[in-house]
Amino acid sequence: VNFGDHNSGFRHNDVIRFINNEVLMNGGSQDFYVAFSSLSWSEVEERLRAVVADSQVPRAIKRACAWSALALSVRVAARQREQHAYRVRRLQERMEAHEAASWAMAAELRRLREESHEAASQLHLTHAALQQALFECDMLRTRLFQIERIPILATSTTCSHDNQEDTEMSCVITPLGEGRS
């Protein structure tokens, strides 16, 4: 494990030094760690299993590979922690965006509800005015029907001028047969 490698997952140099010494004292090198540092844990474990299961590999090398695998598991855990933190941040951002959209939609819903109430009120007033107009129309139709049924009386009109300037005239309407004697 490199001391300056922040992706290793280790924070303390004495821990890194101990792991590196165990790998070196058991006859290993940094080859296992470097070769598999970008693999997933399941791939690292498969490679370690292959080394451990091989009867031709000395026990000390198996220990060295096990220490390297331990170091790699910490690296994988650190990578997963970073990925998890990234996903959590993205989810929080999405949640905040959804929350903002929710508030905006609630405000829009309130506005639309107010418009709906205003439109319903206006519709009610218009309906009442229409009902009144229909009622008045029916009343006028009834009066017109009644007037049309009354027989028209024959009338006579007599007009006379009161002065010579011919500006005023008076007329008298009388039914026929009256006023004649």
Task: Give the CA distances from residue 11 to residues 20, 36, 145, 180, in Å, rounded to whole numbers and listed in that order.
Answer: 14, 20, 105, 134
Find out whether 78 and 8 touch, Cβ atoms under 8 Å.
Answer: yes
In eight-state DSSP terms, residue 7 is G
pLDDT digits (tens, 9 = 90+) for 90-114: 999 999 999 999 999 999 999 999 9
Whether this model's pTM surpasses 0.85: no
Positive or negative, the CA dihedral 97, 101, 102, 104 is positive
Q: Per-residue pLDDT tens for 7-48?
A: 666 666 667 777 777 776 666 667 777 777 777 888 888 888
Per-residue pLDDT tens digits for 153-165: 555 556 665 555 5
Spans of all domains in the chain: 6-80
One DSSP character per residue, 81-107 reads HHHHHHHHHHHHHHHHHHHHHHHHHHH
